[in-house]
Structure 1
Amino acid sequence: MSEVWVADNGDGTYRNPVLYADWSDPDIIRVGDDFYLTASSFNRVPGLPLLHSTDLVNWRIIGHALHRLPAGHATPRPGCGVWAPALRFHAGRFWICYPDPDHGIFLTTADDPAGPWSEPRLILPGRGLIDPCPLWDDDGRAYLVHAWARSRCGFNNRLTAYPMESDLTGPTGPGVLVVDGDAIPGCRTLEGPKWYRRDGWYWLFAPAGGVATGWQYALRSRRVFGPYEPRVVLAQAGTDVNGPHQGAWVDTPAGTDWFAHFQDLGAHGRVVHLQPMRWTADGWPEIGDHGAPVATHRKPAPGPADPVAPATGDTFEDGRPGPQWSWPANPGPGQVLPHPGAGLRLACRPGGDDLRRLPNVLGQRLPGPRLRAETGLRLDAPAGARAGLTVHGRTYAWIGLVNRPGGTYLTCRFAEAEGEAEQDAADPVAVPAGAGVRLAVTVTEPAVVRFAAEIGGERWECGPPFTATPGAWIGATLGLFATGPGGHADFDRFVVRPHR
């Protein structure tokens, strides 16, 4: 278990964010006493992560619903892939509707949220369709609402809905504009709708105002296709929680209501907050403390005796990375190699020097505001190969080993501008042939990165600190990589701890 960030205070209360990592655009459902969460994954593979909780505060990763992206994702395509999904439980099955803004809206289903999930099916083709959410009405009829991406279709700030087949395999009629954000005073970038039914009302919970600066609407209507009446139900107010919006309303077995949403924290991505929610006398939801985010609160349910957080450290059991890891594109065969020892063996594959363009960088989300990650490395490869530990987004830096014709060198490099060639952060240090090194990275607020290494009992500091930056719609990535004309790199246990 990672202890970098623990949201459970151990006294029946929690602190926000409940997930201090890039679990972007969260959607949550309850099935019995269990809660399940999925999130957008963009160009990460595997995508559509599934997390489980019994109290909305302590979460574990249990799998992924999507194991490959469509053809065309053999190399990283930042900002593409899987945008905001919706998770639902209906007719004894789990359903995820998710958008690929370049292709349309897809559906995958499963009997068990841990998988296996069905092969994705395109149910509503179209460029610019994003943020879908299905609704099954009391009479059994099905509907689907979605938003629009200006970057793909030239407009946004609108929500469109379709009547659907009961199994969501396709629409049964034309789309209907159910909410025109341009007609709401002050509204811009209305998107991310989640659709619900309560006490004779149809409810759309939808964010507006942009990722880092927005707010949350609730919209209600007596008719499924509207008209819908809007009200702002969550905003930053006097707190330091910028842009609190886009998430899920969920209830507990005890009958209390909660709202989970994200906050954009730059290199740390879109972290997840949990807010209490109640219904006012005039029938509207009130989220947080009179519409403002709370920092701490009593927990929704007792939950586990010991705090739980999504895994970050890894022993690489059976030589495989755990579910916290992902690739920035569809992995090719043999990127992870079998080997007789403990740890992880990565193949050194050619592809150039820019880590942002390589599909074989194995990464995970930054798991908190202050952390230290360590691993050991040996490089068994010809000249031209290199391997190491990196933090990367639109810019990046790394520490590791490079094999040159004259020997092996401990190296630390960075690329501070998008497209900029790498530069040395410190003079390389010769390493005895066959020797291993221990690599370390610390991250402190605000996303300040420092690299160090230990070789032969001596500590080596890597130049000045580097400030991490986010990627395209995702936070910075903490990663391991191996590149070159052949050979392999061996990483031992990956250890992640809080940094004091």
Structure 2
Amino acid sequence: MTATYRNPVLNADWSDPDVIRVGEDFYLTASTFTKVPGLPILHSRDLVNWTIIGHAVTGGYDDVRPGCGVWAPSLRHHDGRFWIFYGDPDVGVCVVSAEDPRGPWTTPHVVKPGAGLIDPCPLWDDDGQAYLVHGWAKSRAGVNNRLTLHRMSPDAREVLDGGTPIIDGDLLPGYRTLEGPKLYKRDGVYWIFAPAGGVEQGWQSVFRAESVFGPYEDRIVLRQGRTDVNGPHQGGWVDTPSGDHWFMHFQDRGPYGRVVHLQPMTWNGGWPVMGAGGEPVPGGPVPVPGGTPSAPATSDDFSGPGLGLQWSWQANPDPSWWEVRDGRLRLACVPGPEDLAKRPSVLGQRLPGDPCTVTTTLTLEGEGRAGLCVLGATYAYVGLESTRDGTVLLRGDSEDGGDGGERVAVPVRDGVVIGARIGTGALVTFLADTGDGLREVGAPFQATRGHWVGAVLGLFAAGGGTGRAVFGAFTVDIER
């Protein structure tokens, strides 16, 4: 029986994906904005089953800056090394590289400084010349909807000229927000795969030329059409060892973020045809037979010695914030903003795109407040708080200022089970077991997206620095 897949193949916020093949192995990375660590590296043998194997960036900002940091990356393999180029819209075009995709990766280096430089992609040509194409963020540069090409030093240390505009979306009928270029060369033809039209309702265009500087012809090759997949665009072109061609791209799903779809790609008249006649497919045969079922980790038994690769902080972490030992995660109840959206020490992971139930146990030692949250532009949580009368169960949200809302009047024992059921449409029902079984706590909460990101499942501990929250195994049961 032929193995099949269904879209999305990565049903969580793997935003702005890019993918390559090296031998029989596929690698994927995605934008992470200010999450630390950033630039996850995923590995697959069949383009459907993926695991997280590391991160390419280990630092960021010391404070929470939504919408900043690591924007859409390009992943390439050249001269025996893996390379990731990404735009930090407040810094410029940056690059990291490694011999092994698991790391270690080099410290980010600025190839071209400047505000509003985003979505870079390199190309090392057959004659040894290197190029770099990028887009523009209007929020920083004042312009967008255009792509600029530079000659680049082959070692990727610097650009060698002031840049040449090669595609101006303002001159193309109906185009807006042209961005995210991926530059390729196949059989003597230069290709730029670039999305346009915006995150939620955009489309995928392809440009081709006989010279890297153009002129480029354009064609729209993937759009929503009659399907329910809104805005299918921005991603990477990859082939299999057998010579089949595929395209991976995102779909924006609000609080779930940008989930990743896989489209077959064929050719007609010298142009790629994606999906089914230019519309997304719900699934199909797995590109490379014989793969082992797998998915990026969500649950964590805290067996250590470190955190699972699915976790990230909202800003640079302090080592004193956390410890993994004996199957437990210990978070210090550190000072910080009461608003969880502004607190660097929230530990989070991507919200699954399928309905699921999340549970963990929580013991609060000393003074403080701790719990499980679902965090986007707004947030809510269930947890424990120490009071003069003992430890109580607490259900709070961003509308109460983050300092706690509904409190259960009866004290609770240590090691209470807390959790959340995330239903269709990312409607969240918080749960707790105070001794009489797992029950609902408070009103349902509608999860919301963050700034360019989906909501996250988070663990937090807040206070004056003397208390400590001890979490047991973090379990995510996904409904299939």
Instruction: State the TM-score, normalizing by the size of structure 1.
Output: 0.94
Given candidates 322, 329, 345, the residue that maps to 1:360 is 345
2:468 aligned with 1:494: no
Given candidates 328, 333, 338, the residue that maps to 2:314 is 328
Give the corresponding residue for 2:198.
210
Give the corresponding residue for 1:391.
374
Q: Offset at 1:422?
A: 3.9
Give the corresponding residue for 2:275.
288
Q: Offset at 1:360?
A: 0.5
Give the corresponding residue for 1:6.
none
Q: Offset at 1:332?
A: 1.7
Give the corresponding residue for 1:37.
28
Give the corresponding residue for 1:431.
411
1:46-86 C-alpha deviation (Å, 9 max, x unpaired): 000000000000000000000001xxx21210100000000
Alignment check: 8 A CA contact 1:319 1:345 kept: no
Give the corresponding residue for 1:5.
none
Distance 1:356 1:167, change over 3 A: same
Q: Offset at 1:283?
A: 0.2
1:249-297 C-alpha deviation (Å, 9 max, x unpaired): 00000000000000000000000000000111x2000000000000011
2:80 aligned with 1:92: yes
Alignment check: 8 A CA contact 2:392 2:407 kept: no
For 1:125 and 1:303, the matched residues in 2 are separated by 45
Q: Offset at 1:428?
A: 2.2
Alignment check: 8 A CA contact 1:234 1:292 kept: yes
**2:321 counterpart SS class:** coil
For 1:44 and 1:338, the matched residues in 2 are separated by 20
The count of aligned residue pairs is 479
Q: Offset at 1:429?
A: 3.4
Give the corresponding residue for 1:152.
140
RMSD of equivalent CA atoms? 1.4
Alignment check: 8 A CA contact 2:123 2:183 kept: yes
The AA in structure 1 aligned to 2:347 is L
Alignment check: 8 A CA contact 1:436 1:455 kept: no
Give the corresponding residue for 1:343.
328
**1:428 counterpart SS class:** strand
2:434 aligned with 1:448: no
For 1:329 and 1:173, the matched residues in 2 are separated by 34
1:122-153 C-alpha deviation (Å, 9 max, x unpaired): 11000000000000111111000000000111
Given candidates 44, 50, 54, the residue that maps to 1:59 is 50
For 1:33 and 1:463, the matched residues in 2 are separated by 50
The AA in structure 2 aligned to 1:490 is V
Aligned pairs (5 A) from 1:13-412: 13-69=4-60, 73-280=61-268, 282-305=269-292, 307-318=293-304, 320-337=306-323, 339=325, 341-382=326-367, 385-412=368-395
**2:255 counterpart SS class:** helix
Q: Offset at 1:316?
A: 1.0
**2:441 counterpart SS class:** strand
> Runs in 1 of length 4+ with deviation above 3 angstroms?
422-427, 457-460
Alignment check: 8 A CA contact 2:237 2:248 kept: yes
The AA in structure 1 aligned to 2:304 is D
For 2:340 and 2:2, the matched residues in 1 are separated by 44
Given candidates 463, 471, 484, the residue that maps to 2:463 is 484
The AA in structure 2 aligned to 1:23 is W
The AA in structure 2 aligned to 1:266 is G
Q: Offset at 1:13?
A: 0.9
For 1:220 and 1:194, the matched residues in 2 are separated by 12
Alignment check: 8 A CA contact 1:334 1:347 kept: yes
Structure 1: 5+ residue runs without aligned partners?
Answer: 1-9
**1:151 counterpart SS class:** helix
Q: Offset at 1:318?
A: 2.6
1:301-338 C-alpha deviation (Å, 9 max, x unpaired): 01424x10000000112353200000011112311136
Q: Offset at 1:425?
A: 5.9
